[in-house]
Amino acid sequence: MNTVQAQLVGSWTTELDNDGTPALGLVAFSADGGVTSTQLNTKHIGLGTWRATGATTFEYAFHILASDDEGKHVGEARIHVEGEIVDDGTWVGTGGATFYNPEGKSLRGHGGSKVVAKKFGIGK
């Protein structure tokens, strides 16, 4: 297991700077490269993958399906985050999202939002 994997695998609370408003969330990284994420400002979970990009750096990407109040599919968000491990219990990074309609047409996007994460769970 590489250093990034040893430190990153597990469950984390996240705080994304959403244009000056904190968006709190949870993200879990698995040893086989899977990632699951959710934020309070979304209705659904995101699923995707992660990989190490250096000795202390990593990136992950996931998709979140979007629906209206009746459950009709209205599009999706594709999120990409680049992070760096600060210590055994903290990582920081930047993230962005592109939003798509149900037909796959890009509607809008943003990047460079700051993310700070703290590890939690057994032993933390």
Task: Note the pLDDT tens digit of each residue in 81-103.
Answer: 999 999 989 999 999 999 999 99
Domain 3-119 has CATH 2.40.128.120: yes
- Evaluate if residue 14 carries a pLDDT over 90: yes
Q: Using 50, 70 and 90 to split pLDDT, how confident is the model at 18?
A: confident
Write the DSSP string, the chain: --HHHHHHSEEEEEEEEETTEEEEEEEEE-TTSEEEEEETT-SS-EEEEEEE-SSSEEEEEEEEEEE-TT--EEEEEEEEEEEEEEETTEEEEEEEEEEE-TT--EEEEEEEEEEEEEEESTT-
Locate the domains of the chain by residue range. Answer: 3-119
pLDDT of residue 111: 86
